[in-house]
Amino acid sequence: MPSITPFLWFDTQAEEAMSFYAGIFKRSKVLSVNKAGGKTMSVSFELEGQKFMALNAGPVFKFNEAISFFVAVDTQQEIDELWDKLIAGGGSPSQCGWLKDKYGLSWQIVPNTLGRMLSDPDPAKSGRCMNAMLQMSKLDLGKLTAAFNGE
């Protein structure tokens, strides 16, 4: 059976990035570090059960928003914790729950309930929630829920 693994291209920071991500996500593990000539060439690791591979291949390609990792969470505490850790050390916020980490990789930190609120059959509820979300960088579950409920 085939498997699909995200493969990340770094300049020289694959091992550093792997350690950074493994320090953020509770269910993570380093699977391998492959070296040649004393330098890390590639790494493989798991975050929350998802396998990743990363390569040190020089500055030819950069990450952009065309690819991001969607992280679904249940609580505001999880949003805050992941957001703060992923943006630390030089990352930057964007809109609607998106951020770039210090390596330029894009992430979305999103409460599980957001999809249900945005797809509610009542257009007034879903519209209020959408309008609230469009005003946010890091998502605020309390404010999204209040907007959805018309409070």
Output the domain CATH number for residue 45: 3.10.180.10
What does the CA dihedral 67, 71, 76, 77 come to, rounded to 10 degrees? -110
26-53 per-position pLDDT tens digit: 999 999 999 999 999 999 999 999 999 9
Same domain, 44 and 76: no
Q: Among 23, 40, 59, give the residue marking a domain's end.
A: 59
- Co-location of 124 and 146 in the same domain: yes
The mean predicted confidence, pLDDT, of the chain is 97
Which pLDDT belongs to residue 143? Answer: 98
List the domain range (segments joined by +) for residue 29. Answer: 1-59
Are both 39 and 3 inside the same structural domain?
yes
Res. 24 pLDDT band, cuts 50 70 90: very high
Same domain membership, residue 85 and residue 33: no
Looking at the fold, whether 72 and 115 belong to one and the same domain comes out as yes
Residue 125 CB partners (closer than 8 Å, separation 6+): 117, 148, 149, 150
Domain's final residue, options 25, 59, 93: 59
H or E, element range at 85:
helix 76-87
Total domains in the chain come to 2
Say if residue 47 is in the same domain as residue 73: no
Q: What digits encode the pLDDT tens for the residues 51-107?
A: 999 999 999 999 999 999 999 999 999 999 999 999 999 999 999 999 999 999 999
Please give the pLDDT value at position 71. Answer: 98
Binned at pLDDT 50, 70 and 90, residue 149 comes out as very high
| pTM metric for this prediction | 0.94
Tell me the DSSP string of 17-68.
Answer: HHHHHHHHSSSEEEEEEEEETTEEEEEEEEETTEEEEEEE--TT----TTSE
Do 102 and 55 reside in the same domain of the chain? no
Residues 6+ apart with CB under 8 A from 136: 95, 96, 97, 143, 144
Asked if residue 67 and residue 131 are part of one domain, the reply reads yes
Shared-domain flag, residues 128 and 86: yes
Mean pLDDT of 113-124: 98
